[in-house]
């Protein structure tokens, strides 16, 4: 397990460098940027008029994330709404728009501390995580770093698949201990506080 109190905070610029390979930052949807700061109700109507299909919405403490499919390309789009207005419209990993058996899932979203270890260097950030459960089994997780979103699909045998926009899927292993989940790839380790109560404490005492 990676002890969270040993991690060193860094700037967001380093996050982009360390995570850029093999995953890329989220890409804004070019023909939707005029909707940034639009009211949510009028924005939804405009999205439908432009051929986007609504899939679902998830709510966190201060934001809502709605997922749409772009009809022309089949790509998944995430729209973040805060204070009733659109804040960002970006492409997202396709599993985010998966509608298979969504009625059987329960989703829990909360603020947390996450990070990455590259070449022995530890970096941590304030993040948001959405955990999707089927009964008591964790099925999928959306881990939102400050400028990137990871889609984690949990499998048996401590296996997990990492998806992100603009990159191929990555197979990794994971372990969960003392409220922290570590995702180990060939060249780096991602981690986040997965226990909700512990995450609240870490967020409250986070010092960048």
166, 117: one domain = yes
| pLDDT at residue number 208 | 67
56, 86: one domain = yes
125, 165: one domain = yes
45, 106: one domain = no
Q: What is the pLDDT of residues 93-144, one digit of tens each?
A: 888 887 664 555 688 899 999 999 999 999 999 999 998 887 677 888 999 9
* Short-list 136, 128, 142, CA closest to 96: 142
- The angle subtended at Cα 55 by Cα 49 and Cα 60, nearest 5°, is 110
User: What predicted TM-score, i.e. pTM, was given to this entire model?
Assistant: 0.60
63, 43: one domain = yes
Q: What is the pLDDT of residues 44-103, one digit of tens each?
A: 889 989 999 888 888 777 888 888 999 888 899 999 998 889 999 999 888 888 766 455
126, 65: one domain = no
Place of tokens 């990070």: 115
Place of tokens 């005029």: 34
9, 111: one domain = yes
Q: Which residues contact 4 (CB under 8 A, 6 or more apart)?
A: 113, 124, 180, 191, 193, 202
* Short-list 187, 105, 191, 169, CA closest to 140: 105
- Residues 72 and 54: their CA atoms lie apart, in Å, by 14
- Residues 156 and 137: their CA atoms lie apart, in Å, by 11
- Residues 116 and 129: their CA atoms lie apart, in Å, by 15
54, 109: one domain = no
45, 114: one domain = no
Quote the domain boundaries for residue 162.
4-24+100-204
The tally of domains found in the chain comes to 2
Backbone phi, psi, residue 95, to 5°: -60, -20
């Amino acid at each position: 397990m990676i002890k969270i109190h040993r991690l060193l905070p860094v700037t967001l610029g380093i996050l982009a460098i360390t995570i850029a390979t093999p995953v890329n930052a989220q890409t804004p949807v070019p023909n939707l940027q005029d909707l940034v700061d639009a009211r949510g109700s009028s924005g939804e109507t405009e999205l439908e008029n432009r051929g986007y299909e609504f899939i679902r919405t998830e709510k966190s403490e201060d934001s809502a994330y709605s997922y749409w499919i772009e009809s022309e390309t089949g790509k998944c789009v995430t729209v973040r709404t805060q204070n009733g207005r659109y804040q960002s419209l970006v492409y997202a990993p396709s599993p985010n728009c998966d509608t298979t058996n969504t009625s059987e899932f329960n989703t829990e979203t909360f603020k947390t501390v996450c990070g990455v270890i590259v070449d022995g260097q530890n970096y941590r950030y304030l993040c948001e995580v959405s955990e999707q459960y089927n009964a008591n089994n964790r099925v999928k997780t959306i881990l939102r770093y400050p400028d990137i979103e990871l889609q984690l699909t949990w499998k048996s045998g401590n296996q997990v698949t990492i998806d992100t926009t603009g990159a191929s899927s990555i197979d990794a292993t994971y372990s969960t201990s003392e409220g922290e989940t570590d995702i180990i790839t060939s060249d780096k380790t991602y981690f986040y506080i997965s226990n909700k109560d512990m995450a609240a404490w870490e967020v409250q005492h986070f010092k960048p």
